[in-house]
């Protein structure tokens, strides 16, 4: 090319659009444009200072840096603009990230836009807005270029073993054994700390099946220590350890063993480069800290490096011996027997001691990042998730930093590429809850896309197995309520909507969804297996049945699976389940043969329910046979099925007998009111009136006497007896009511007399606050009396609960009387839960002790006397404080007997 006669050399060739720029080094450095067609150089800028770097920032900004650290922009011919100045260096390693310019100097200092980003940097690369760099300490770091904050250490699935040399010395053997022990602690049979265990569980499952095929024993233990540790009262344990000074002793032993060195006379100590804020004393004497220490025959400094100059005389003497008399005898023996030199052994021992300090726990000595192999360099990063490193041996390795992988997975989820995201999570062992927790509502709305795009059911099975009720640590936000059941239910529904051929392919995912829900829907899964296998040809039926039953057995234990198979009432399916479960044929074959002989089918179902200990279902099937009444009675009495029997036999000819049977039990337990209700439903008038008489309920006795046309003299005699008993028990109001009714004209004036008595006994005084106080404490959000208004509203709620309990005493028996047992049971359960919760919260709303600042209302209300402000002389608290009614806790009538034993015994049924 023309114009290169006086040029020493050309460097930094780079493209700018369709042109080539270069730095021409002659008498002075200049930037020139190269005309490749005509072979001509065109000078653009002559620099008075040597140029150390030239490049083009996308899209077309030409930049260069001088050796004194000035970065400039070349805008045109001889038109430059100074951008920033950094430390002087030659050369620079410059990379671009959007509008940011990163430069690594020869002094291992990394700059971004002229500002220092990191020190001791050996190599770096950029991926989007993240910078990855290695340091002189052989650590790998990630830093965000947007926030300039560290993103954390890079996580590798397995640690690297740097040495492959033959093991000769004992120290090397011990080191390798310690590395192997560390690896075993991290990776035990595929279970890696901090990673998913689904693949490992699948591997263990295959291992178990192989052993069973060869009829060999296999023993597996899985200890979930994390859950046990989370339940330990740590505060109590730490308090006990500190009280016994155990922590201080362990710390001293730890430092003495790994990180602290004392000389023989205990006059000085050395630590490994840790900044000590406290001192060390021996027998009350403070020891000085030294930077040089003699350990294992060699001198080391506080940074762990050997002091080379200290052994110069010894080495010179040893070399003189070798020159005059030949090799030293010790060296001859070492070379003859292949023993490592003693200096190497001491060096290895010293490194091992120092390695214990570096490899200790984070809270023991210092916090370190993930180490990389000595001499590793970062070469490049792909646009996705991979970072390429060059090892000291020359080989290239690819790592996938977890922040990069997580970012790519979130982008896939945002674009609704769920299958690709699942594959990435499986490959890199990312918690698959990220798929649900990243954007829960969007995922639930598009869950059909996941099912329709899935070709491999194992991916869906792994996702289902990994679901937990907690939020993924890789997401921010609130976890959706009932996450596992919602996701599994939607997945099962979507799979059932697929065509038959696709449904068969995805059937294992359907089974996983049903069995992952809480509680597991084992019976539904078995019924679906039976339904789908019945639709198949005979030659494929057994194959698919065994395959799917094997999958179910992975989630459910043998006993539960066999019990669920019996619940399908399909003895053939039950036999297949028993065979797959590897149960002893002596256990199930006689039972199944006996059940096959039972006829008719409904009675066989009853016997199957009895074998499963499902007594209510057995009674339901037994109720279909009138000739089995005696057997049904024995079952009701043996299993206390009185309440379920009321529902099962309702509408049948035996309903009155069931009511009489249950009423006799309640009468024996002195539950007179409920026994009277059931005797009345059984149309046993005499026993009904007898129970009402024993209950001392005057109103109900009179209403039933009027209904059943009981003679007047019998009613009067009974009322007088009831009055005597009520009087003796101190129930004066009820005794007076009984005598008043007995002395009246029983059937003509009973209604008016009862009404007047009820009105007289039911009068209560109602106190109202003054109009001023009511207006003053009207609830207003953010008002000064908001807390007082809330207390008033809560007190009114408790009063309403008391009225509700009073209504339940009349409403529940009436519902039972008209055979609305299900409605009465649900109503009693709901009211009981509300009352229990109110009783629990009552002491928290109105505590027994109050501080002055806990009093409701504004602070000036404490100084109000007769609605006028009166500040006390000298300040301070007022002498007298007016206690408003809302401060006192309302009474909750929990002692009243309002719940019916009839409904309580049958809570599961109702």
**Tally of domains in the chain:** 4
Q: Would you state the structure tokens that stand for residue 243, as one six-digit string? A: 């009280």
Same domain, 321 and 444: no
Instruction: Identify whether the C-beta of residue 313 lies closer than 8 Å to the C-beta of residue 306.
Output: no
| Residue 151 or 619, more confident | 619
Q: Give the lowest-confidence range in 174-183, 665-674, 778-787.
A: 174-183
Q: Give the lowest-confidence range in 235-244, 408-417, 440-449.
A: 235-244
What's the pLDDT score for residue 311? 45
Angle between the N-to-C axes of helices 629-639 and 655-668, in degrees from 0 to 180, rounded to the nearest 10 = 30
Of the candidates 136, 156, 92, the residue with the CA atom closest to the CA atom of residue 376: 136
Q: What gap in Å lies between CA 599 and CA 606, rounded to an integer?
A: 10
Q: Would you state the structure tokens that stand for residue 82, as one six-digit string? A: 């100074």
- The residue from 79, 112, 144 where one domain ends is 144
Please say if the pLDDT value at position 361 is more than 80. Answer: no
Mean of per-residue pLDDT scores for the chain: 77
Cα dihedral value 676, 677, 678, 680, nearest 10: 80
Same domain, 504 and 597: yes
Instruction: Identify whether the C-beta of residue 187 lies closer than 8 Å to the C-beta of residue 200.
Output: no
Burial 673-693 (b: 16+ CB within 10 A, else e): bbbbbbbbbbebeebbbbbbb
Q: What gap in Å lies between CA 191 and CA 158, rounded to an integer?
A: 12
State the CATH number of the domain containing residue 47: 2.130.10.10
Q: Give the lowest-confidence range in 62-76, 95-109, 424-438, 780-794.
A: 780-794
For the chain, the straight-line distance linking the first and the last C-alpha, in angstroms and rounded, comes to 99
What's the pLDDT score for residue 535? 86
Q: What gap in Å lies between CA 565 and CA 571, rounded to an integer?
A: 8
Instruction: Identify whether the C-beta of residue 69 lies closer than 8 Å to the C-beta of residue 88.
Output: yes
As a whole number of angstroms, the longest Cα–Cα distance in the chain is: 144
Q: Give the lowest-confidence range in 459-473, 525-539, 733-747.
A: 733-747
Q: Residue 757: which residues within 8 A CB-CB, separation 6 or more?
A: 736, 737, 740, 741
pLDDT average, residue stretch 222-229: 52
**CA contacts within 13 A on the Cβ side of 406:** 17
Residue 592: pLDDT band with limits 50, 70, 90 = confident
Angle between the N-to-C axes of helices 685-695 and 698-708, in degrees from 0 to 180, rounded to the nearest 10 = 160
What's the pLDDT score for residue 102? 92
Instruction: Identify whether the C-beta of residue 293 lies closer than 8 Å to the C-beta of residue 261.
Output: yes
What Rg, from alpha-carbon coordinates, does the chain have? 44
Unique residue bearing structure tokens 């239910």: 489
Tens digit of each residue's pLDDT (9 = 90 or more) over 477-526: 788 889 999 999 999 999 999 999 999 999 999 999 999 998 899 989 99
Is residue 41 domain-resident? yes
What's the pLDDT score for residue 779? 54
Please say if the pLDDT value at position 417 is more than 80. Answer: yes
Tens digit of each residue's pLDDT (9 = 90 or more) over 710-764: 888 888 888 888 888 888 888 888 888 888 877 765 444 444 444 444 444 444 4
Unique residue bearing structure tokens 């329709």: 452
3-state secondary structure 617-661: HHHHHHCCCHHHHHHHHHHHHHHCCHHHHHHHCCCCCCHHHHHHH
| % of the chain exceeding 90 in pLDDT | 15
Is residue 769 domain-resident? no
Q: Would you state the structure tokens that stand for residue 353, as one six-digit string? A: 């001691």
Tens digit of each residue's pLDDT (9 = 90 or more) over 659-700: 999 999 988 888 888 888 888 888 888 898 888 888 888 888
Instruction: Identify whether the C-beta of residue 706 lies closer than 8 Å to the C-beta of residue 750.
Output: yes
Q: Is 575 helix (H, G, I), strand (E, B) or coil?
A: helix
Q: What gap in Å lies between CA 64 and CA 55, rounded to an integer?
A: 6
Same domain, 501 and 636: yes
Unique residue bearing structure tokens 């006390």: 872
What's the pLDDT score for residue 407? 87
Beta bridge partners of 142: 132
Is residue 218 domain-resident? no
Residue 528: pLDDT band with limits 50, 70, 90 = very high
Helices and strands (H and E) in the chain: how many? 37, 28
Is residue 219 domain-resident? no
Residue 883: pLDDT band with limits 50, 70, 90 = confident
DSSP 8-state code for residue 2: B
Q: Residue 509: which residues within 8 A CB-CB, separation 6 or more?
A: 454, 457, 460, 461, 464, 491, 495
DSSP 8-state code for residue 91: S
Same domain, 126 and 243: no
Length of the chain, in residues: 910
Q: What gap in Å lies between CA 199 and CA 207, rounded to an integer?
A: 12
- The residue from 342, 358, 374 where one domain ends is 358
Same domain, 354 and 445: no
Q: Would you state the structure tokens that stand for residue 735, as one six-digit string? A: 């005794």
pLDDT average, residue stretch 393-401: 82
- The residue from 129, 144, 159 where one domain ends is 144
Residue 853: pLDDT band with limits 50, 70, 90 = low
| Residue 904 or 542, more confident | 542
Is residue 523 domain-resident? yes
Is residue 705 domain-resident? no
Residue 633: pLDDT band with limits 50, 70, 90 = very high
Q: Would you state the structure tokens that stand for residue 686, as one six-digit string? A: 């005499």
Unique residue bearing structure tokens 């200049």: 30
What's the pLDDT score for residue 892? 87
Residue 173 CB neighbours (<10 A): 11
Please say if the pLDDT value at position 317 is more than 80. Answer: no
Model confidence, pTM? 0.55
DSSP string, 842-895: HHHHS-S---GGGSSS-GGGGGEETTEE-PPTTSSS-S-----GGGSPPP---S
DSSP 8-state code for residue 781: T
Same domain, 450 and 347: no
What's the pLDDT score for residue 362? 40
Tens digit of each residue's pLDDT (9 = 90 or more) over 299-310: 555 554 445 444
DSSP 8-state code for residue 289: B
Instruction: Identify whether the C-beta of residue 29 lies closer than 8 Å to the C-beta of residue 63.
Output: no
pLDDT average, residue stretch 609-618: 90
Unique residue bearing structure tokens 């179902």: 605
Same domain, 481 and 606: yes
Same domain, 323 and 452: no
Q: Give the lowest-confidence range in 101-110, 120-129, 325-334, 733-742.
A: 325-334
Same domain, 613 and 497: yes
Beta bridge partners of 85: 70
**What are φ and ψ of residue 267, in 5° steps?**
-110, -10
Residue 796 burial (C-beta neighbours within 10 Å; 0-12, 13-18, 19+):
exposed
Q: What gap in Å lies between CA 131 and CA 125, rounded to an integer?
A: 6
Instruction: Identify whether the C-beta of residue 462 lies closer than 8 Å to the C-beta of residue 509.
Output: no
Residue 128: pLDDT band with limits 50, 70, 90 = confident
What's the pLDDT score for residue 360? 44
Q: Would you state the structure tokens that stand for residue 336, as one six-digit string? A: 């003859």
Burial 174-211 (b: 16+ CB within 10 A, else e): ebeeeeeeeeeeebeeebbeebbbbebbbebeeeeeee
Please say if the pLDDT value at position 387 is more than 60. Answer: yes
Q: Give the lowest-confidence range in 241-255, 543-557, 574-588.
A: 241-255
Q: Which domain holds residue 837?
A: 776-910
Residue 583 CB neighbours (<10 A): 16
Q: What gap in Å lies between CA 577 and CA 530, rounded to an integer?
A: 11
Q: What gap in Å lies between CA 678 and CA 687, rounded to an integer?
A: 10
Q: What gap in Å lies between CA 93 and CA 227, rounded to an integer?
A: 49
Q: Omega of the bond prior to 371 within 30 degrees of 0, cis?
A: no
Is residue 179 domain-resident? no
Same domain, 447 and 354: no
Beta bridge partners of 82: 72
Is residue 371 domain-resident? no
What's the pLDDT score for residue 420? 93
Of the candidates 239, 353, 237, the residue with the CA atom closest to the CA atom of residue 295: 353
């Amino acid at each position: 090319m023309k114009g290169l006669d006086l040029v020493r050399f050309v460097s930094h060739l780079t493209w700018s659009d369709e042109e080539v720029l270069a730095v021409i080094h002659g008498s002075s450095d200049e930037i020139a444009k190269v005309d490749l067609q005509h072979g001509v150089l065109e000078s653009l800028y002559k620099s008075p200072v040597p140029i150390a770097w030239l490049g083009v920032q996308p899209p077309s900004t030409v930049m260069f840096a001088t050796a004194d650290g000035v970065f400039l922009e070349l805008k045109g011919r001889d038109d430059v603009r100074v951008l920033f100045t950094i430390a002087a260096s030659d050369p620079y390693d410059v990379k671009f990230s959007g509008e940011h310019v990163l430069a690594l100097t020869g002094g291992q200092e990394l700059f971004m836009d002229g500002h220092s980003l990191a020190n001791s940097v050996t190599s770096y690369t950029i991926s989007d807005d993240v910078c990855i760099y290695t340091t002189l300490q052989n650590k790998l770091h990630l830093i965000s270029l947007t926030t300039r904050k560290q993103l954390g250490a890079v996580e590798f699935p397995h640690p690297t073993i740097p040495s492959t040399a033959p093991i000769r010395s004992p120290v090397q053997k011990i080191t390798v054994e310690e590395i192997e022990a560390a690896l075993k602690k991290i990776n035990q049979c595929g279970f890696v700390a901090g990673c998913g265990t689904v693949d490992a569980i699948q591997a263990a499952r295959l291992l178990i099946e192989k052993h069973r095929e060869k009829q060999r024993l296999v023993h597996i233990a899985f200890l979930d220590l994390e859950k046990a540790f989370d339940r330990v009262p740590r505060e109590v344990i730490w308090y006990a350890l500190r009280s016994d000074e155990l922590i201080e002793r362990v710390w001293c032993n730890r430092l003495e063993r790994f990180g602290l060195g004392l000389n023989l006379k205990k006059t000085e100590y050395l630590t490994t480069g840790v900044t000590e804020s406290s001192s060390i004393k021996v027998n009350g004497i403070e020891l000085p800290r030294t930077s040089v220490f003699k350990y294992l025959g060699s001198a080391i400094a506080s940074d762990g490096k050997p002091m080379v100059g200290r052994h110069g005389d010894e080495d010179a003497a040893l070399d003189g011996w070798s020159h005059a008399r030949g090799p030293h005898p010790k060296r001859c023996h070492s070379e003859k027997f292949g023993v490592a030199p003693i200096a190497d052994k001491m060096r290895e021992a010293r490194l091992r001691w120092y390695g214990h300090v570096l490899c200790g726990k984070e809270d023991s000595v210092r916090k370190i990042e993930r180490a990389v192999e000595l001499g590793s360099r970062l070469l490049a990063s792909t646009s996705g998730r991979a970072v390429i490193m060059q090892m000291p041996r020359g080989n290239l390795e690819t790592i996938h930093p977890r922040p990069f992988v997580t970012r790519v997975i979130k982008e896939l989820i945002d674009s609704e590429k769920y299958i690709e995201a699942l594959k990435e999570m499986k490959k890199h062992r990312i918690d698959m809850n990220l798929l649900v927790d990243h954007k829960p509502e969007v995922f639930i709305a598009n869950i059909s896309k996941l099912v329709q795009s899935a070709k491999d059911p194992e991916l869906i099975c792994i996702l289902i197995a990994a679901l937990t009720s907690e939020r993924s640590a890789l997401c921010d936000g609130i976890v959706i309520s009932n996450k596992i059941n919602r996701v599994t239910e939607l997945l099962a529904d979507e799979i059932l909507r697929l065509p038959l051929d696709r449904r068969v392919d995805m059937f294992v995912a359907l089974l996983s969804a049903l069995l992952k829900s809480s509680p597991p829907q084992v019976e539904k899964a078995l019924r679906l297996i039976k339904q789908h296998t019945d639709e198949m040809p005979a030659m494929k039926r057994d194959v698919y049945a065994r395959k799917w039953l094997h999958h179910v057995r992975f989630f459910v234990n043998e006993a539960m699976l066999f019990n669920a198979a019996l619940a399908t009432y399909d003895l053939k399916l039950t036999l297949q389940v028993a065979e797959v479960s590897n149960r002893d044929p002596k256990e199930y074959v006689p039972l199944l043969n006996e059940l096959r002989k039972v006829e008719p089918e409904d009675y066989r179902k009853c016997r199957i329910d009895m074998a499963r200990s499902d007594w209510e279902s057995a009674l339901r099937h037994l109720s279909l046979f009138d000739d089995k009444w005696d057997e049904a009675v024995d079952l009701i009495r043996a299993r206390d099925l009185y309440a379920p029997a009321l529902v099962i036999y309702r509408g049948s000819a035996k309903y009155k007998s069931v009511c009489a049977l249950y009423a006799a039990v309640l009468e024996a337990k002195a539950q007179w009111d409920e026994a009277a209700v059931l005797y009345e439903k059984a149309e046993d008038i005499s026993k009904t009136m007898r129970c009402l008489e024993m209950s001392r309920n005057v109103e109900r006795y009179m209403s039933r006497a009027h209904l059943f046309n009981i003679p007047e003299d019998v009613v009067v005699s009974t009322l007088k007896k009831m009055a005597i008993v009520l009087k003796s028990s101190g129930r004066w109001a009820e005794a007076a009511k009984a005598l008043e009714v007995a002395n009246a004209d029983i059937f003509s004036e009973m209604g008016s007399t009862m009404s007047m008595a009820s009105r007289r006994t039911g009068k209560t005084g109602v106190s109202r606050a003054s109009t001023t106080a009511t207006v003053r404490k009207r609830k207003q959000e953010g008002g000064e009396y908001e807390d007082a208004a809330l207390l008033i509203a809560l007190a009114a709620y408790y009063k309403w609960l008391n009225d509700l309990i009073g209504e339940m005493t009349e409403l529940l028996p009436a519902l039972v009387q008209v055979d609305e047992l299900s409605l009465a049971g649900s109503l009693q359960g709901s009211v009981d839960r509300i009352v229990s919760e109110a009783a629990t919260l009552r002491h928290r709303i109105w505590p027994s002790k109050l501080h002055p600042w806990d009093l409701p209302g504004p602070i000036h209300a404490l100084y109000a006397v007769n609605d006028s402000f009166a500040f006390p002389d000298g300040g301070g608290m007022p002498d007298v404080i007016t206690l408003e009614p809302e401060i006192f806790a309302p009474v909750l009538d929990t002692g009243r007997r309002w719940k019916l034993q009839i409904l309580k015994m049958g809570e599961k049924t109702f």
